[in-house]
Chain A
Amino acid sequence: MSLKILIFPFFSLLTLFLIIGFLKPDLDIIIEKMDTIDNQKILVEDSDSIVKHIDQLTSVVNENAESKKMLFTYLPPVFDHESIIDSFNFLATDSSLYVNTITLKQDSAVVMNNLVDANASSTDLNKSKVSIIPFSGEFTGSYQDIKTFLSQLNYTNRFQNINSFSLESQQKSGETEPSNIIKGIINIDYGYLKDFSVDSAVKVPFLRDRESFDLSPITTFKDKMTEIPLPVVTIPGKENPFK
């Protein structure tokens, strides 16, 4: 008789234990696995198109070898000090300027994180960060020569952000008349983009939906580079404001 009374609480407790201890964790596992399966199914469906896109995009890149070269000159995978110094010095001396100092801060490379597009959430694309090398150059010369030099500086075939520049007329102590010599300082950010290895193409959003590259920025850049570098226009006003 007393055993019969125990049946209800015993089985109630057992059922409760079963639900809390086994049913609920298993239900969580099922939900998790179903999510994984959904994702995997999407990946499998995408994988064919990704492989197809890789082939198509590779042939686009191969067909546009010149554009590729231009892009890698624009943003090289390693920072080449020598070419920066060389091109700056070449442009300056070509404009009859005297380069006083050049400062390149390799250690102060900062990261410019505007590469990752809004849709990209993958860890791979987050690696795509442009490292910035601040450059500073000081030069002296006449106003017209500096004007020519700085105008040509806009037409460099690599990425650069001209942050600031200043011009100051040089007056020797004791002289009342201003000299024709102007000292100029320019601060430019140059950049490079380190190569990295992609873990999986699945994590790269553009490989899922892009069949070709829009090469119009390269064309625009090319057009910009081939513009006549110095519009030697003389507008009404003072030809040399420092005189």
Chain B
Amino acid sequence: MERTILNSAENEKKKSQFHSSMIIVIIFFLTLFVWGGMKWYIKTLDDTLSQLQSQLDGVSESFHGNRVDNLVAFHDRLDFMKSQLEGPMNTKLIDFFLKLEKLVLPEVRIKKYEVNILKRNIKVTGVTNSFKYVAQQMSQFKADSFFTSVTAGDFDRDEVGQIVFSFNTQF
């Protein structure tokens, strides 16, 4: 009785081993089959690619040369012109003169006028005979909406006793 049970357990084990072996063999062949299929698919893709490439080659002659170069040159210049016209560097220089003429007091004489359009900064150096006019001159610039800030610079007296002053403004 005991022997029969042992034999039957051994048979079960052998059966299970056989099944596992069969399954792995089937999986192996399946994998092999899939790989073969993939190789075939790669070949099909290569054919499609070469077909598309030959189609592209047919029109590629018109894709370069003087005509395309000229168009790109035209387009790039046009785009650049557009960006420049819309850009901040379009300030008219006459405006800086008109501002100065409008804001400078009769008692003040400008010695130096430095406009940096890139940094949006102006440095004004002037000469006058009283600090009262220096203050008035600065407040003239401060009151103008064109300027965002006015900061005092140097104050000094020249050889004839006149006050040489400077201030910086942002616009």
Contacts and interface: CB of A to CB of B under 8 A. Distances in A.
Interface string A142-159: 000001001101100001
B56 A40 contact: yes
A93 interface: no
Contacts of A117: 79
Given A18-B31, A237-B101, A242-B110, A29 B84 contact: no
Interface string A25-57: 011011001101100110110011011001001
Interface in A75-102: 75, 77
Contact of A51 (B31, B59, B72): B59
B112 A217 contact: no
A219 B104 CA distance: 38
A63 to B, nearest CB: 12
B69 to A, nearest CB: 6
A8 B22 CA distance: 8
Nearest to B123: A166
Nearest to A14: B28
A105 interface: no
A150 B94 CA distance: 7
Contact-size category for B: 35 or more
A159 to B, nearest CB: 6
A124 B72 contact: yes
Nearest to A9: B24
A201 B68 contact: yes
B157 interface: no
A66 interface: no
Contacts of B76: 115, 125, 128, 193
Nearest to B105: A238
A15 B27 contact: yes
Contact of A235 (B55, B85, B101): B101
22 contacts: A26-B38, A26-B39, A37-B49, A41-B52, A51-B59, A54-B62, A58-B67, A71-B77, A75-B80, A150-B93, A150-B97, A164-B115, A165-B115, A167-B112, A195-B69, A197-B64, A201-B62, A201-B63, A214-B82, A217-B82, A235-B101, A243-B109
